[in-house]
Amino acid sequence: MSDQNSFYITTPIYYVNDVPHIGHAYTTVAADVLARYWRLRGRDVFFLTGLDEHGQKVQQAAAKAGIDPQAHCDKLAPQFQSLWTRLNISNDAFIRTTDAPHKVVVQRYLELLFSKDMIYKADYTGWYCTFDERFWTEKDVESGLCPDCKRPVERISEHNYFFKMGQYQADLIEHIKRHSSFIRPESRRNEVLGFLTTQKLGDLSISRPKSRLSWGIELPFDKDYVTYVWFDALVNYMSALDYLRPTPSQAQFWPANVHLVGKDILTTHAVYWSTMLMALNLPLPKTIFAHGWWTVDGEKMSKSRGNVVDPNKMVDEFGADAFRYFLLREVPFGQDGDFSQSALVTNLNSDLANGIGNLLSRTLTMIERFAGGTIPAIGTPAIPELEALIATTATGLPERIEHGFSALAFRENLQALWELVGLCDEYIDKAAPWKLAKNPESLPRLNTVLNTASRALRLLSVLLYPYMPQTAAQLAQQLGLSFDFSKPMPQTAYGWETPLAGVKIFKGPGLFPRIESTPQGAKTESDATTTPQPTTVTPMPTTLPPCPTASASSPAPQAPAPAQITIDEFMKIQLKTAKVLSAERVPKSEKLLKLQVSLGEGMEQRQIVAGIGKKYEPEALIGKTIVIVANLKPAKLMGIESQGMVLAAGDSEVRGLLTLLEDVEPGTKVK
């Protein structure tokens, strides 16, 4: 049995038949988040990913390209390895099934099962799907199509070797029933149990004749056959522990803590792999977690539709951390998700730019202005009830997050972290440190506000690290903290009462620039033909900046002067008053409100989408007279047309709508 302090996490080994897409990135990012979290908590983590390089599809793709299958694999493998580097994936090993040591382990297991009479040779006739590389029975096939991929199948008769999988059916059912966390989520567990309890489990063909397929691992007991690709691929989880560790480590790491897989390969893992392990007298993995699929703008992702999301372009446009955050924030892990560029932009602006980025920026700016750039000690309470709520929330957060990671509840964990971000924003707004700074007698209250916000940011940097490692490191650096995220984090980093006073901050650039328009460049293949739109976003760097070394006397960087315009240019802007007739929230957006406004009796009505939803409830705006830009070219926000712009005060956050001292008729020009 594995060491209790160890943690073994795996992704599937991805099939080398195409370039990596969002599905590959999703599984691998989720595994990386788990690995980073448990390393930080002091566990000995082994994180494995890699490539499945054998089988008929590889052989056919290589033949089509006119190259050797190994050369074909060698050409594609770096594309996965490069993407994992760009996404900051911290895998400990990268396995390829063409590795010579892996082949040795596969052949050893085959020989062992053959010697135990668990493998036999027999004639077989069935419907074969080349894409899935598997046989189907007569009852499975409908209209000559594979029940899985819906591609045509062909009838094949041949001699093959079979693994006696069927004799483990009852044992596997019993294991699933006794171990509730073996297959997760519960809906997938019920699917596998339903399959196993309603039909007889047959034996598994584990060979292919070389006359039909030569690209594979040769059977040790028959040179005319190669190993079925799934028997070869699944063994990687064990073979890696033999040769990709400094010393053989099965005793330390097996059984695996979590196999992360897509729902399409759950059966091969829950049934094929489990029965193989039973036959080898090896323990079964503790958890097989099958997550959902991604659609794109409501449609199934496919090359024929031209809507395959390229993770490299996501990193180019938004940065690795923003893309990682979106993947695990958008939907509960285990359910299907829909990818859209507008949702990613909204997510980045609301949660990252206006959320954690703005909280850090405003806190450090106030420490620079009001405390000389050094985090002050706690003084007297500013808002006792909110300070108590923040303390209670922050104190319970580490345990809550650990429970979430044990349940693979990535989205719920992020929601919990953003509860603390929201509380801190509310606290700063209500405490108004800029007002406290004007009265020397309020200095103790001001110091409490700055210290409280800083301690919350310290905790957030540690708990955000698994999701957004670059962001966490930059956050900690700007707070003046000397965290080493490559090592287990000391318990004091999680302690709410751990002192932080006297630490010199190093305010740097904002964590996340706000995106004001449609990002430039194609995100999917279908986007490539569209006209690029201008954007104001600057992607996050893919490497961490060095820790600042500025002294206390270093001058603060000067903000660039705003661009000047002429009076003629200003006169082109038409500002008018408008009366709000109705207001409602835009679905899936915390910030956007859809307003119907009137420009006066006998004049047209306008629909305007405004980013003021965090500051105002819709019903509070009805009947208000506001100021709008009336001649702005219409634009779409989250698919809704906006025919103007509402004027409001604020920097990265809305502080208030532009109002008038006197009652003015809607449609009146503002000049």
Q: What percent of the chain has pLDDT over 90?
A: 68
pLDDT at 508 exceeding the cut of 80: yes
The per-residue pLDDT for 620 is 73
Taking the C-alpha atoms of residue 507 and residue 361, their distance in angstroms, rounded to an integer, is 8
Is 295 in contact with 145 (CB distance < 8 Å)?
no
pLDDT tens digit sequence for 527-545: 333 333 333 343 333 333 3
Per-residue pLDDT of 136-192, as tens digits, reads 877 788 888 888 788 898 888 789 999 999 999 999 999 999 999 999 999 999 999
560 has a pLDDT exceeding 60:
no
pLDDT tens for each residue of 179-194: 999 999 999 999 999 9
Q: What is the mean pLDDT of residues 629-637?
A: 86
Per-residue pLDDT reduced to its tens digit, 450-489: 999 999 999 999 999 999 999 999 999 999 999 999 999 9
Task: Find the largest Cα–Cα distance for the chain.
Answer: 94
Q: Is the pLDDT of residue 109 over 90?
A: yes
Residue 285 clears pLDDT 60, i.e. is over it? yes
Say if domain 567-670 classifies as CATH 3.20.20.100: no
Q: From CA 266, how far away is CA 291, in angstroms rounded?
A: 9
Question: What is the fold, at CATH topology level, of the domain defined by 6-291?
Answer: Rossmann fold (3.40.50)
pLDDT score at 126 = 76
Nearest to 464 by CA among 356, 353, 590, 327: 356
The Cα–Cα gap between 70 and 78 comes to 13
Return the number of other C-beta atoms located less than 10 Å from residue 242's C-beta: 16
- Averaged over 611-637, what is the pLDDT? 84
Is it the case that residue 271 has pLDDT exceeding 90? yes
Q: What is the mean pLDDT of residues 613-626?
A: 81
pLDDT tens-digit map of 649-667: 876 678 788 877 777 788 8
**3-state secondary structure (DSSP) of residue 135:** strand
Inter-CA distances, 529 with 18, 301, 357, 573, Å: 22, 18, 33, 33
- Interior CA angle at 32 toward 29 and 37, to 5°? 130
Q: Residue 158 has what pLDDT?
A: 85
The count of C-alpha atoms lying within 13 angstroms of the C-alpha of 32, restricted to the half-sphere facing its C-beta, is: 27
Which of 461-465, 553-557, 574-578 is modeled with the greatest confidence? 461-465
- The whole-number pLDDT of residue 136 equals 80
In this predicted structure, the answer to whether residue 575 has a pLDDT above a threshold of 70 is yes
- When pLDDT is cut at 50, 70 and 90, the band that residue 70 belongs to is very high
Q: Which residues contact 64 (CB under 8 A, 6 or more apart)?
A: none
Q: What is the mean pLDDT of the chain?
A: 89
- pLDDT (average), residues 408-435: 96
More confident residue, 295 or 33: 33
If residue 288 lies in a helix (H) or strand (E), which one and from where to where? strand 288-291
Mean pLDDT throughout 261-272? Answer: 97
pLDDT per position as a tens digit, 303-322: 777 788 999 999 999 999 99
Could you tell me the pLDDT band of residue 120, with boundaries at 50, 70 and 90? very high
Determine the 3-state secondary structure of 163 from DSSP. strand
* The predicted structure's pLDDT at residue 558: 47
Q: What is the number of other CB atoms lying within 10 angstroms of the CB of residue 130?
A: 17
- Please report the pLDDT score of residue 616 as a whole number: 84
Residue 462, pLDDT score = 98
The predicted structure's pLDDT at residue 602: 56
pLDDT at residue 123 tops 50: yes
Confidence of residue 299 (pLDDT cuts 50, 70, 90): confident
- pLDDT (0 to 100) of residue 519: 40
Helix, strand, coil shares of the chain, percent, nearest 5, are 40, 20, 40
Architecture of domain 335-529: Orthogonal Bundle (1.10)
Q: Inform me whether the pLDDT recorded for 619 exceeds 90.
A: no
Residues of the chain with pLDDT > 70: what percent? 91
Q: Distance (Å, rounded) from C-alpha 375 to C-alpha 561?
A: 29
Q: What is the pTM of this model?
A: 0.77
Q: 541 versus 340: which is more confidently predicted?
A: 340
Full strand arrangement of the beta sheet holding 154-163: 134-136, 119-129, 154-163, 204-205
User: In the predicted model, what is the mean pLDDT of residues 35-46?
Assistant: 98
Residue (of 572, 587, 594) closest to 642 by Cα position: 594
Domain residue ranges of the chain, discontinuous segments joined by +: 6-291, 335-529, 567-670
Question: How does residue 589 score in pLDDT terms, banded at 50, 70 and 90?
Answer: confident
Q: CA 362, CA 356: separation in Å to the nearest integer?
A: 10
- Going by their DSSP bridges, the two strands 337-339 and 294-296 should be labelled as parallel
pLDDT band with cut points at 50, 70 and 90 for residue 563: low
d(CA 54, CA 16): 8
